[in-house]
Amino acid sequence: MNVKSGALAAAKPPQVKHLTVDAEDAERRLDRFLEAQCPGVPRTRIQRMIRTGEVRVNGGRAKGDRRLVAGDVVRIPPLHDAPPPSAEPVPLILPPIWRERLQAAILVEDAQILALNKPAGIAVHGGSGLAFGVIEALRVLRPDLPHLELVHRLDRETSGCLVLAKSARILRQLHTAFRTGTLEKEYLALAVGDWSEGPAVHTAALAKSLVVGGERRVRLDPAGKEAITRFRPTERFRYAGLPLTLMEIHIETGRTHQIRVQAAAAGHPLAGDLKYGDDAANRRLKAMGLGRLFLHARRLTLHLTGEEAPRRLVAPLPADLRGFLERLRAGDEAAPGQDTG
């Protein structure tokens, strides 16, 4: 009889959970919080229960990118497809090439942050058919950093400076800096066409949309979110008859695809941009040796509490983009009026 009772107890269906967010999880995204609380549950399942409202924060619906605050109460529905509590999560197998590339990409590491010169072609997180991204890979490489979190994002195709926080306190501090505009971000990009109008500020609002097949795109939309981008041309080229302009770009907001969409709207899509770019120009650029989007997060300046001076993180231009620039500079049709800054 006791055995039967034990079997019934073991077969008890999963129950609704109500978890209160503590200070250590404050500022963590809701979807990341759920992944930590529900080991072994597929990411697609977590996204679905957020989307359908099965997950609630303080009794209401919430999006996956919502930043939690201490004291929030998160409702987690019964997870019938979760592994038994005693089961160990399936370990993520990280290919050796990932270990090598990420280790080589570290720019700065101290007790507060870890900064990378993210290679192009590597997503910052898994999902949408990707088993893992930078954050998942680093958690495998660095199990000694249980609270490691992305401070911001870069597109998969974009290379450059990517910062991760080692604690909730630093994460909150840097998120505040992003929101208030006290964290400076500078990019280097190659635009198609002769940007002859000089420095310009673009403020067109942006909105996300989904097209056929579920692909995410961003468009100009007066009802969208504010996006502020400062463009400054620094060099102009004409290679094989194609005019190109090297741009220094500062962004005051961090919208998805912000630089790419606003540059295209200005009539100067970025070189190698397969989503918002000029198809004919991209074919010519590929034949010229450019194998990817020419967009690089070159500098990031941040000021942490308790430090006297701001930190200036610099990510060197990758070899492929540096080599392409050298080809342009050695070309026989350099445009007049270059400013090498």
Q: What is the pLDDT of residues 189-200, one digit of tens each?
A: 999 999 988 999
Whether 315 maps to a domain, the answer reads yes
Question: Are 153 and 211 in the same domain?
Answer: yes
Question: Are 224 and 285 in the same domain?
Answer: yes
Q: What is the pLDDT of residues 27-64, one digit of tens each?
A: 788 988 888 788 778 778 888 889 999 999 999 999 98
Q: Give the list of residues 6+ apart from residue 111 with CB closer than 8 angstroms, or none.
A: 166
Number of domains in the chain: 2
Position 202 pLDDT exceeds 60: yes
Question: Are 210 and 307 in the same domain?
Answer: yes
Strands 295-302 vs 159-165: parallel, antiparallel or unpaired: parallel
Whether 88 maps to a domain, the answer reads no
Whether 12 maps to a domain, the answer reads no
Q: What is the mean pLDDT of the chain?
A: 84
Q: What is the sign, positive or negative, of the torsion defined by CA atoms of 216, 221, 226, 230?
A: positive
Q: What is the pLDDT of residues 228-246, one digit of tens each?
A: 999 999 999 998 889 999 9
Whether 70 maps to a domain, the answer reads no
Specify the pLDDT at position 75. 92
Question: Are 53 and 141 in the same domain?
Answer: no
Question: Are 123 and 35 in the same domain?
Answer: no
Task: Report the C-alpha gap between 116 and 105 in whole angstroms.
Answer: 5
Residue 17 pairs in a beta bridge with 76
Which helix (H) or strand (E) segment holds residue 77: the answer is: none
Question: Are 150 and 285 in the same domain?
Answer: yes
3-class DSSP state of 150: strand
Whether 181 maps to a domain, the answer reads yes
Question: Are 185 and 324 in the same domain?
Answer: yes
Whether 109 maps to a domain, the answer reads yes
Whether 337 maps to a domain, the answer reads no
* CATH, residue 142: 3.30.2350.10
Q: What range does the domain containing 253 cover?
A: 96-329
- Inter-helix orientation angle 134-141/96-105, to 10°: 90
Question: Are 50 and 116 in the same domain?
Answer: no
- The one catalytic residue in 155, 278, 332, 339 is 155
Question: Are 209 and 107 in the same domain?
Answer: yes
Q: Average pLDDT, stretch 324-340?
A: 67
Q: Is the pTM for the entire model greater than 0.85?
A: no
Query: Is 25 marked active-site?
Result: no
Question: Are 34 and 175 in the same domain?
Answer: no
